[in-house]
Amino acid sequence: MFVIAAAQAGVHEDGRETFGHSMIIDPWGRVLASAGGTGEGIVVADIDVGAVAVARAKIPNLKNGRAFSLEEVPLSASGGVAA
């Protein structure tokens, strides 16, 4: 998954100050592009959508997925789990 994080920078009407640093991050956490912390800017990066599949294939715990369901557990009159 790529992370595209947009962030505001500057002083706002209410006096609040924000510091920007919008960025685009690849599946391995590498920052592909980043904006400075002041003023307006546009962040652009080439995104290889195939990199997501490659990253997922290299993470073995994702192969251990299993189906599950959330079932309601009946409670006893005292509020505990019924036996």
Task: Write out pLDDT tens, residues 15-67.
Answer: 998 888 899 999 999 999 998 766 778 899 999 989 988 888 888 776 777 77
The residue range of the domain holding 45 is 3-62
Please tell me the predicted confidence (pLDDT) of residue 23.
93
Exposure of 74 in the CB half-sphere (CA atoms within 13 A) = 4
pTM: 0.62
43 falls within a domain: yes
34 falls within a domain: yes
82 falls within a domain: no
Decide: residue 37, CB within 10 A, 0-12 exposed, 13-18 middle, 19+ buried: middle
36 falls within a domain: yes
Report the number of distinct structural domains present in the chain: 1
33 falls within a domain: yes
